[in-house]
Amino acid sequence: MDAVENLHEKAFRSYAPGHWPEIPPEQWNDWKWQLRNRVTTLESLEKKIHLTPEERAGVILSGNKLAFAVTPHYFNLIDPEDANCPIRRQVVPRIEEGNTAPWELADPCGEDSHMPVPGIVHRYPDRVLFLVTDRCASYCRYCTRARVVSGVGEQELHTDFEEAFRYLETHTGIRDVLLSGGDALLLSDGKLEQILARLRAIPHIEFLRIGSRVPIFLPQRITPEFCKMLQKYHPLWMSVHVNHPRELTTEVKEALWRLADHGVPLGNQSVLLAGVNDSVEVMKTLVQKLLQSRVRPYYLYQCDPIRGTSHLRTSVAKGIEIIEGLRGHTSGYAIPQYVIDAPGGGGKVPINPSYVLYHDEEKVVIRNYEGKVFEYPELAAEKTGANLRDDVKCASGCRGK
Ligand SMILES: *Cc1c(COP(=O)(O)O)cnc(C)c1O
């Protein structure tokens, strides 16, 4: 029961009493101080928490795969008494990162083969990812771009900005550009503004988005000046990345409200992770707290089969169970779309519990969130020109026969 009650605890401040008791608030609230004082070494980590042998070996291993780095803000959310702490599991490396299953890949979503120019991933007809840096405020151990992110992996990101802008200018079908990386919010206000202004000067680009975990790892970065700068480039949306309710601290909530106050619509992308958020209870608390932070849950990702992440992945059945546990049980606005990013570069595929039990020319038989079954009359196909899907007709539980 304790764990459940903790989840519903009101947001708390990450600042004090933590592992940096001597630091005055002016320093703590300075995002550059936070970056300079990240926990990055085994020595500094061991001074703060008691590591398990698996973690100790994991930190040593991380040195030539995906760097270990955690901001003081996020570090303070770790429960030092709990080796299975959901915050700790996301950022402290473990020896299991060295295990590679045969089906795991360095580039599970086939991004490298969809890169027409260095730094642009163009997989869908009308939108692209623009990778503007390879650095993040802290490193998620399940990073889908671990091969290029943090500067110690096997590949390097060499975004050619001039070539990228030329690509975007000459491909008039691109109407949506998503800044990613790495984390675009690690760039200075000036550098980021240069990129945004340049994109806004391209007439066919209608919609700008930034994918960032900085509001969570480093909420101090979301200054009023920064938000005022963003405001000049609307429509500009932001996708943040929260996996566990404890991440929504008072500081984070303030940062998110500030972005929303400056007209930035906020979505959240969670990754389904074993021992972090693989339960209906945790996810329900998370999505409801997100709405209170003015963030609309957008996607729940099945964790990509990235090398060395099997200890963090869970089954697709679990993901479906979570969505089923949300739909009907809480606000529709709180329910993310569960997706698998198809291995090899097929893009995001929606995965849903099946609510259609039977479907033919005359009727569709559906069930609701309570399992009650209903029938709805189908309009004849010759009138609508619609084709009935065979896969649904053959779905299990054909009670309408
Ligand atoms: C996720 C992603 C997008 C954006 O997809 P939406 O479903 O529009 O949010 C665009 N390009 C690539 C390569 C992506 O992985």
Domain termination residue (choose one: 332, 350, 368): 350
* Residue 160 located in a structural domain: yes
Domain termination residue (choose one: 350, 371, 386): 350
Same domain? 327 vs 306: yes
The residue range of the domain holding 188 is 112-213+267-350
Q: Which of 30, 348, 360, 398 is catalytic?
A: 348
The answer to whether 256 and 296 have CB atoms below 8 angstroms apart is no
Same domain? 391 vs 278: no
Residue 11: what pLDDT?
Answer: 63
The answer to whether 303 and 313 have CB atoms below 8 angstroms apart is yes
Ligand 1: which atom is nearest the Cα of residue 122?
A: 13
Q: Please state, in angstroms and as integers, the Cα–Cα distance from residue 301 to each residue in 248, 266, 270, 273, 314, following that order.
A: 19, 17, 6, 9, 11
Distance of CA 72 to the CA centre of its chain: 20
The answer to whether 94 and 276 have CB atoms below 8 angstroms apart is no
Atom 2 of ligand 1, residue of closest alpha carbon: 129
Q: Is-catalytic flag, 303? A: no
Q: What is the pLDDT along the chain (401 residues), one digit of tens a residue?
A: 344 445 555 567 777 667 888 899 999 999 999 999 999 999 999 999 999 999 999 999 998 889 999 999 999 999 988 999 999 999 999 999 999 999 999 999 999 999 999 999 999 999 999 999 999 999 999 999 999 999 998 899 999 999 999 999 999 999 999 999 999 999 999 999 999 999 999 999 999 999 999 999 999 999 999 999 999 999 999 999 999 999 999 999 999 999 999 999 999 999 999 999 999 999 999 999 999 999 999 999 999 999 999 999 999 999 999 999 999 999 999 999 999 999 988 999 999 999 999 999 999 999 999 999 999 999 876 666 676 666 555 554 444 33
* Residue 275 located in a structural domain: yes
Same domain? 372 vs 288: no
Q: Which of 88, 107, 109, 136 is catalytic?
A: 136
The answer to whether 99 and 310 have CB atoms below 8 angstroms apart is yes
Residue 10: what pLDDT?
Answer: 58
Neighbouring CB atoms inside 10 A of 327's CB total 16
Ligand 1 centroid vs 87 CA: distance in angstroms? 26
* Residue 380 located in a structural domain: yes
* Residue 386 located in a structural domain: yes
Does the C-beta of 177 come closer than 6 Å to ligand 1? no
Q: How far apart are the first and last CA of the chain?
A: 45
- Find the length of the chain: 401
Same domain? 163 vs 124: yes
Ligand 1 centroid vs 203 CA: distance in angstroms? 21
Structure tokens at 126: 């009308």
* Residue 220 located in a structural domain: no
pTM: 0.93
Does the C-beta of 123 come closer than 6 Å to ligand 1? yes
Ligand 1 centroid vs 31 CA: distance in angstroms? 29
Ligand 1 centroid vs 127 CA: distance in angstroms? 7
Does the C-beta of 121 come closer than 6 Å to ligand 1? yes
Distance CA 280, CA 317 (A): 12
* Residue 154 located in a structural domain: yes
Atom 14 of ligand 1, residue of closest alpha carbon: 129
Beta bridge partners of 321: none
Does the C-beta of 178 come closer than 6 Å to ligand 1? yes
Same domain? 280 vs 386: no
Domain count, the chain: 2
Nearest in space to 92 (alpha carbons), one of 271, 248, 286, 312: 312
Residue 18: what pLDDT?
Answer: 78
Residue 153: what pLDDT?
Answer: 85
Residue 13: what pLDDT?
Answer: 79
* Residue 206 located in a structural domain: yes
Ligand 1 centroid vs 160 CA: distance in angstroms? 21
Same domain? 339 vs 378: no
Ligand 1: which atom is nearest the Cα of residue 114?
A: 13
* Residue 82 located in a structural domain: no
Q: Is-catalytic flag, 38? A: no
Nearest in space to 134 (alpha carbons), one of 122, 147, 116: 147
Ligand 1: which atom is nearest the Cα of residue 121?
A: 13
Same domain? 333 vs 392: no
Say which CATH number the domain at 344 has. Answer: 3.20.20.70
Q: Is-catalytic flag, 341? A: yes
Residue 391: what pLDDT?
Answer: 57
Same domain? 377 vs 271: no
Q: Which of 65, 89, 123, 253 is catalytic?
A: 123
Does the C-beta of 374 come closer than 6 Å to ligand 1? no
Same domain? 272 vs 172: yes
Q: Is-catalytic flag, 85? A: no
Same domain? 183 vs 275: yes
The answer to whether 292 and 320 have CB atoms below 8 angstroms apart is no
Residue 17: what pLDDT?
Answer: 62
Ligand 1 centroid vs 344 CA: distance in angstroms? 14
Same domain? 206 vs 298: yes
Same domain? 271 vs 389: no
Rg, C-alpha atoms of the chain: 22
Ligand 1 centroid vs 159 CA: distance in angstroms? 18
